[in-house]
Amino acid sequence: MRYIGTHANHPFASASEAVLLGMVPRGGLFVPEFIPRLEADTLAQPNYLETSRRIMGAYFTDFAPNVLDECLRKAYNPENFHTPDVVDLTPVGRRRFLLELFHGPTAAFKDIALQLMPHLTNTAKALTGDRTHTLILVATSGDTGKAALEGYKDAEGISIVVFYPDGGVSEVQRLQMTTTEGRNTKVFAVRGNFDDCQTGVKALFLDSNLRDYLGGMEIKLSTGNSINWGRLAPQIVYYIRAYALLAARSEIKMGDEVDICVPTGNFGNILAAWYARAMGLPVRKLFCASNKNNILTDFFQTGVYDTHREFHRTSSPSMDILISSNLERFLFEIAGRDAERIKPWFLDRFRTGRFEIDADTKKAIDALVIPGWADEPRVFAEIKTVYEETGKVIDTHTAVASAVSRDAGPKDGPATIIASTASPFKFSGDVYAAIAGRAEPDEFAAIEKLSGIAKEPAHRAVRGLKERPVLHDGVLSISQMREAVIGFAEGVKNKV
């Protein structure tokens, strides 16, 4: 399998090269040259590891099977994922199923890819003979940061710098990040929102002076964000696994269609569902669920993507995003893999903050995507309803998806898989308020109370968090990000 760029400005790359580069150096994102077919026996595998081996094997053809297998074993084991099969599937009402993706070390779905990424990166370096130090830059709206820090912490030959919006993440998310140990980690708050952080990181990647300077120290930049194909491919696996589980439990018959509903921010998780469908998984509709930052809902309804709008801070901060990076991959695929067709759109967005797709592309999207959004009262009501109906406590992001699938889904539609992207304990204050009907301003008291309501211990990611020392307290302006990276890189160099 080779990889091509969405702007057709890069020669074929191997999977290793795509993972190490993160994004196409001259702009655009890597996508596979073709989409491999889902083999029938992939759906018949007994466990997550085997399913994963087959799907990842189709995309990472330059990895020897035993080497890929070792990477997968290091990531997907009972120590990292506290549930028997990495993910879990829980019914919530008639033909509605939560795909629980949060049983990893940091309580967010991003663990599933980020526990694997360091092993993919190190294997890719070995395969390409790359002996440089890898410096991972991450922009985060909350969950990616901690998941990446945990994944890369103390990894050989790799360091990581995370930028998060100052005041733009939850208290638990902030403490999770700023208490991270590991000799190779650094975390900064940035005065701005997530889009500012992400745009800042992208600018660093495109900065050839910076690249040359770091190159002189034998350091190369890479990314742990979902613009990296190595982040996306592992996410395809769990949709296919979820389908297999539904069939194994006789909730559906093999071959039946399902709907998938995904709480969406950067468009990575829903794009993985699209790839699963493109590989041949019988998916009828993809529900793209947004919070009050409903730019994607508007885009799918009108064909116009317009970033000139107010940015809202919501109770689902990992979806507080106006520029969804992976939309570019989606449009490339939907618009017939025609780089010339999509390039002007992204150029327009860059220059004017707005673009409009053509009628054919719009039509292709309409046939597949059902957009929807939930405002804050609707999200809180959904948490309460799901709890009252099923006893299940869901987080604010999952609630966005649950609300959208309930409100926009047809009553007689197929079984629906709702991506449950975070443990409720990560957003205890809001979840507790939604269920109890009163606020508990102390986030840690809310965790205790929620644990009582849910009748289960809090996720290990939030236990003991309050007692841990804060090790990263730097706050930067956007213009200081470059300097901060250079400072950290020089420190890394001196240690080596």
Ligand X SMILES: *Cc1c(COP(=O)(O)O)cnc(C)c1O
Which residue, 102 or 152, is less far from ligand X as judged by CB? 102
CB of 264 to ligand X, least distance (A): 4
Which residue, 31 or 108, is less far from ligand X as judged by CB? 108
Q: Which stretch binds ligand X (CB under 6 A): 65-73, 259-267, 344-352, 374-382?
A: 259-267
Which residue, 109 or 355, is less far from ligand X as judged by CB? 109
Number of shown-chain residues binding ligand X (CB under 6 A): 16
Q: Which stretch binds ligand X (CB under 6 A): 249-257, 265-273, 297-305, 379-387?
A: 265-273
Tell whether residue 422 is a contact of ligand X (CB under 6 A). Answer: yes
Q: Which of 108, 260, 296, 393 binds ligand X (CB under 6 A)?
A: 108
Tell whether residue 318 is a contact of ligand X (CB under 6 A). Answer: yes
Q: Which stretch binds ligand X (CB under 6 A): 122-130, 191-199, 257-265, 409-417?
A: 257-265
Tell whether residue 269 is a contact of ligand X (CB under 6 A). Answer: yes
Tell whether residue 320 is a contact of ligand X (CB under 6 A). Answer: no
By the 8 A CB rule, do 7 and 24 touch?
A: yes
CB of 110 to ligand X, least distance (A): 6
Residue in 156, 158, 116 with CA at minimum distance from that of residue 133: 158
Q: Which stretch binds ligand X (CB under 6 A): 153-161, 214-222, 264-272, 477-485?
A: 264-272
Tell whether residue 317 is a contact of ligand X (CB under 6 A). Answer: no
CB of 63 to ligand X, least distance (A): 24
Q: Which of 185, 226, 361, 405 binds ligand X (CB under 6 A)?
A: 226
Phi-psi region of 87 (alpha: psi -120 to 50; beta: other; left: phi over 0): beta
Q: Which of 5, 151, 268, 424 binds ligand X (CB under 6 A)?
A: 268
Residue in 376, 382, 381 with CA at minimum distance from that of residue 398: 382
Q: Which stretch binds ligand X (CB under 6 A): 176-184, 261-269, 353-361, 441-449?
A: 261-269
Tell whether residue 264 is a contact of ligand X (CB under 6 A). Answer: yes
Q: Which of 53, 392, 397, 406 binds ligand X (CB under 6 A)?
A: 397
Q: In a 10 Å sphere around its CB, with 0-12 CB exposed, 13-18 middle and 19+ buried, how is residue 339 labelled?
A: middle
Tell whether residue 223 is a contact of ligand X (CB under 6 A). Answer: no
Q: Which stretch binds ligand X (CB under 6 A): 196-204, 262-270, 331-339, 464-472?
A: 262-270
Tell whether residue 176 is a contact of ligand X (CB under 6 A). Answer: no
Tell whether residue 229 is a contact of ligand X (CB under 6 A). Answer: no
Q: How far is CA 42 from CA 29, 39, 239, in A?
A: 27, 5, 12
Residue in 388, 383, 415, 413 with CA at minimum distance from that of residue 401: 383
Site of tokens 């090269």: 17
Q: Which stretch binds ligand X (CB under 6 A): 60-68, 74-82, 263-271, 466-474?
A: 263-271
Q: Which of 265, 372, 409, 424 binds ligand X (CB under 6 A)?
A: 265
Which residue, 20 or 227, is less far from ligand X as judged by CB? 227
Tell whether residue 329 is a contact of ligand X (CB under 6 A). Answer: no
Q: Which of 193, 314, 385, 421 binds ligand X (CB under 6 A)?
A: 421
Phi, psi of 195, deg, nearest 5: -60, -35
Interacting positions 7-46 with ligand X (CB under 6 A): none
Q: Which of 10, 110, 186, 449 binds ligand X (CB under 6 A)?
A: 110
Tell whether residue 266 is a contact of ligand X (CB under 6 A). Answer: yes
CA 297 to centroid of chain Cα atoms:
19
d(CA 384, CA 436): 8
Tell whether residue 172 is a contact of ligand X (CB under 6 A). Answer: no
d(CA 69, CA 135): 25
Tell whether residue 143 is a contact of ligand X (CB under 6 A). Answer: yes
CB of 425 to ligand X, least distance (A): 12
Tell whether residue 297 is a contact of ligand X (CB under 6 A). Answer: no
Q: Which of 3, 152, 163, 267 binds ligand X (CB under 6 A)?
A: 267
CB count in 10 Å sphere of residue 473: 9
Residue in 104, 398, 411 with CA at minimum distance from that of residue 263: 398
Binding site for ligand X (CB under 6 A): 108, 110, 143, 226, 263-269, 318-319, 397, 421-422
